[in-house]
Amino acid sequence: MSSDLHHLDISAASAGLRGGKFSSRELVKSCLNQIQKHNSGINAFLTLNEHALEEADQADINLPLGGIPMAIKDNFLTQGLRTTASSKVLDNYIPQYDSTVVEKLKKAGAIILGKTNMDAWAHGSSTETSDYGPTLNPWNTGHLPGGSSGGSAAAVRADMCTFAIGSETAGSIRQPAAWCGITGFKPTYGRISRYGVIAMASSTDSPGPLTKTAVDASTITSLLAGKDPSDATTIPGNYQKILPKNGKKLKIGVAVEYLLPQMKDEVKKLIREAAGVLLRLGMSVEDISLMDPNYSVGVYTIVQRSEVSSNLARYDGIRYGLDRSHFGEEAKRRIMLGTYTLSSGYYDQYYQKALKVRTMIIEDFNRAFRQVDLVIGATSPGPALKVGASRNQPMFGEMEDILVEPSSIAGLTGISVPCGFVDGLPIGLQIIGPQGGEESVFRVALEYQSAVDWHLARPSLT
């Protein structure tokens, strides 16, 4: 058996399995060995599936993901497998059913290795609010992996799994993908079912894949997308996997407001270089103007906290889980602020005003997409920050997600792909499309990765 099967992406792993070069057991075992070697130093996995090897022995490799090992963020319900949302409130919670995403992945033949660490209740952009300790960045364990899907992103980049699933509310897929140097895809809101996902902010929560390549992200999205009778917010129509060089010449807009004044010149240079790659690939590229992303911070803070106060009300220690004294400090802050903004006398002053500005952000993107097909910019203001950076910083997540929050609260689709390094840490390029614009987003991401090799870089783990 090859000792480096855990390095494979979905495409290569599927080809190897179907070609008889190795078995699913060998592939799964290689990933489990990687977890055993490195999880204690990275803390990506919270719970492992004790039956993974048995399931690998029974895998049907002719299924789309037959025999492929993967990881699931710990806010997706997994029947019979502990699901905590990284909160001690749900420390011993064993779901009685699978989320729609998990159900579809199982039907496609994927093998779940386990559940990954996250910011508790998905409240954060560092994975430092987890009640089970922070996840660390595989490139430098003195730095954070981002969040809230930090465990999933770190697991993929540390080659502990072939791909992983995360969820994004305001950047929680794309931002950790950028900090860990992998591909992270956020679909149009409603493209992938939220059924069985522990809710954070219901009007923006979007499940999506974290993968080693854009091709793999496209593959997973094609399997997960579609109308779900269990989720009324899902939209009809399946996304079909597409290949590059398909269709009209695309117009790409570089959002100048997303080149923030405080952003390092090296980050801005990488974004301009990525735009140059797209230009050489035959696309037209021009600078465009969007609303200042700082407006999205206020909107998201109010809307998200308000929805959190409603969604976490069910965790009262009566129906399931432990009592509310087990909530962490971040959850308590968000519940209190959300309750305040929804209270009598303040609803119009805060929540209604936030919804109006949200509509202005949506209309601003609509205007931009009449001018260009897609918008690009940096995914995060800079590379991964050091461990401890989020402590005593109640607005840490909003400021680190400032460049992805606008598209998330507008329900748009977008992807983050690696585009270089600053201070030895990865930088992500985000490609934003209109609602329903997955095909164009993937087309550009696929073509970009065909011309560069940033996504092939992997850290040296010790």
* Residue of 30, 126, 172, 296 marked active site: 172
Please say whether the beta carbons of 245 and 278 come within 8 A. Answer: no
| Rg of the chain on CA atoms, in Å | 20
Closest CA to 407 of 176, 170, 146: 170
Please say whether the beta carbons of 402 and 114 come within 8 A. Answer: no
Angstrom distance (rounded) from CA 202 to CA 30 = 37
Closest CA to 128 of 163, 93, 194, 179: 179
Strands 374-378 and 251-255: parallel
Closest CA to 405 of 365, 366, 440, 368: 365
3-state secondary structure 144-165: CCCCCCHHHHHHHHCCCCCEEE
Tell me if residue 73 is catalytic: yes
208, β-bridge pairs:
166
Angstrom distance (rounded) from CA 321 to CA 172 = 25
Tell me if residue 203 is catalytic: no
* Residue of 148, 167, 193, 296 marked active site: 148
Lookup: tokens for 341: 């903004």
Phi and psi at 199, nearest 5°, equal -70, 140
Calculate ∠ Cα 282-378-459, nearest 5°. Answer: 100
Q: Which amino acid is at 123?
A: H
Please say whether the beta carbons of 383 and 142 come within 8 A. Answer: no
Q: What is the DSSP letter of 282?
A: T
Angstrom distance (rounded) from CA 208 to CA 168 = 7
* Residue of 14, 30, 73, 309 marked active site: 73
Question: What percent of the chain is helix, strand and coil (3-state, nearest 5)?
Answer: 40, 15, 45
Q: What is the DSSP letter of 414?
A: E
Tell me if residue 2 is catalytic: no
Phi and psi at 360, nearest 5°, equal -65, -40
253, β-bridge pairs:
286, 375
Phi and psi at 212, nearest 5°, equal -90, -20
Lookup: tokens for 340: 């305040």
* Alpha-carbon torsion (433, 238, 83, 42), positive or negative: negative
Catalytic residues: 73, 148, 172
